[in-house]
Amino acid sequence: MRAVVVDNAGAIHVDTRPDPTLPGPDGAIVQVEAASICGSDLHFLEGHYPMAEPVSLGHEAVGTIVETGSEVAKFQKGNRVLVSSVAGCGRCAGCATHDPIKCVQGPQIFGSGILGGAQAELLAVPAADFQLLAMPDGIDTQQALLLTDNLATGWAAAKRADIPIGGTVAVIGLGAVGMCALRSALTLGAATVFAVDPVEARRKRAEAWGATGITAPSARPIREATGGLGADAVIDAVGTDTSINDALDAVRTGGTVSIVGVHDLQPYPLPALACLLRSLTIRLTTAPVQQTWPELIPLLQAGRLDVDGIFTDTLPLDEATAGYAAAMSRSGEHLKVRLNP
């Protein structure tokens, strides 16, 4: 099969790899119809994570089951499904909460060097009854791809930000996750959303969706706009030292900072005393993907949550190098890239 691979030099290739085999009697093989590039995939290109060998990339996939193990009860060959980006064993007390992050055996992420990557023609899925979801009625392919990770992450970020109805929220970083968090914050009742990004075209996109665009750093203009108080909640969808500092500076005393941006492997110097004296709540979240589906799918089906415009590019798998170049540009024109095997 063909698969997108990153090597130790940070170069992207489309390689030929052996077809995957069933990962056990509870597993399935999915023929990938569509995959997408996530901002966290870019960390491998930028050298933030060590690699002993080339890694097959991607953790967002929609496709059709072509094989199932004998213990798979909910699915059969021919079912069209979406795949949770985060995998759990599906049998433990943690997975019983529908949050694979709480898996007692430890969660795994597709395309991280342990499980195979989703940017490929075929994907082996362990614990298929837990990881897979039958394609819901009224959900298109791009909505389904967002449900596998980015929308689930943005939604979790907004829910964990303690947004008061009619409150003020700042979203730092207007990539796909940040845009999903922005849409989620509005759906959850925020009256004002400050959209923070150094790229003007991304701010303009956010403004078209009802936000107030602000260039980074954002603390001073947000405080000026809120009478010196700061935002009720700040969502950091970048996860660098600079963006976390900006989030802490922009939130009001007693507010909440919700971080879903992926930090590198270096320690962050938390100003703990200042956070203590200001009674801040700080949450860092990897999305409980399966847990978000019962909330997000009805909102999408009813048209109450709009994610149109998140995907900006669609390319064949063989043009993955160009797709990654577009994603790495972090421009307003290239927000989210879909790859079609």
**10-residue averages of pLDDT along the chain (341 residues):** 92 95 97 96 85 91 98 98 98 97 96 94 98 98 98 98 98 97 98 97 95 95 97 98 98 98 92 98 97 98 96 97 95 94 95
* pLDDT, position 113: 86
CB atoms within 10 A of CB 207: 12
Cα 1 to Cα 14, 26, 58, 118, 136: the distances in Å are 10, 22, 15, 12, 28
Question: By C-alpha distance, which of 76, 95, 59, 71 is closest to 134?
Answer: 76
How far is CA 77 from its chain centroid? Answer: 28
* pLDDT, position 116: 96
Name the DSSP class of 19: P
Name the DSSP class of 101: G
* pLDDT, position 332: 86
* pLDDT, position 49: 79
Neighbouring-strand partners of residue 235? 171, 258
The two structure tokens encoding residue 27: 């597993």
* pLDDT, position 45: 87
All domains of the chain in start order, with CATH:
2-149+288-339 (3.90.180.10), 154-284 (3.40.50.720)
> What would you report as the CA-atom Rg of the chain, rounded to the nearest whole angstrom?
20
* pLDDT, position 213: 97
* pLDDT, position 8: 84
* pLDDT, position 237: 98
CB atoms within 10 A of CB 217: 17
Question: By C-alpha distance, which of 40, 21, 39, 41 is closest to 29?
Answer: 21
* pLDDT, position 173: 97
Categorise residue 127: left if φ over 0, alpha if ψ from -120 to 50, beta otherwise.
left
Q: Contact, 210 vs 146, CB < 8 A?
A: no
Cβ burial 230-255 (10 Å sphere, 16+ → b, else e): bbbbbbbbbbbeebbbbbbbbbbeeb
